[in-house]
Amino acid sequence: MAGWRLDRRNFLRMTGYLLFLPLIYLTGRTLKRKEALQGAREWHLPMPAPGEVAFHGPVILINEGSDKSVRAYASACTHLGCRIERLENNLLICPCHGSRYDLDGKPVQGPAVKSLQSLPLKVMEDTLTVNVTV
């Protein structure tokens, strides 16, 4: 590299490349996440016990027992899409920005303002079939 110099033009070009690389990485990561979700049209999951909230990747299953049926929600927070995988005091907690949802999927604390996406499910004995592409 005898003829190469770090002048202003080369510096700006290198800086542009370095700033562009994280954008490419994040875009690819988002597309992979969408493809993975779209590729798995149906998930076959075990029936949660009465009173149990079960987290299965992109799906949250809620079985409140008694006369209420099992419900399925997408685990993606409606604020920025972070995966919800925690329950505290009967509230579903987003780990990224603190949004909280009740067990009906409705937001009770922001920044999220939309309810969790309800997913259709079929109950067959001890197995649930959930469509995650809706």
Q: Could you report the per-residue pLDDT of 94-128, keeping only the tens digit for each?
A: 988 889 999 888 999 878 888 999 888 888 777 77
CATH code of 43-131, in short, is 2.102.10.10
Which one has a higher pLDDT value, 96 or 41? 96
Entry field: residues in the chain: 134
Averaged pLDDT for residues 73-85: 87
> pLDDT band at residue 58, thresholds of 50, 70 and 90?
confident
> pLDDT band at residue 56, thresholds of 50, 70 and 90?
confident
**Residue 55 clears pLDDT 60, i.e. is over it:** yes
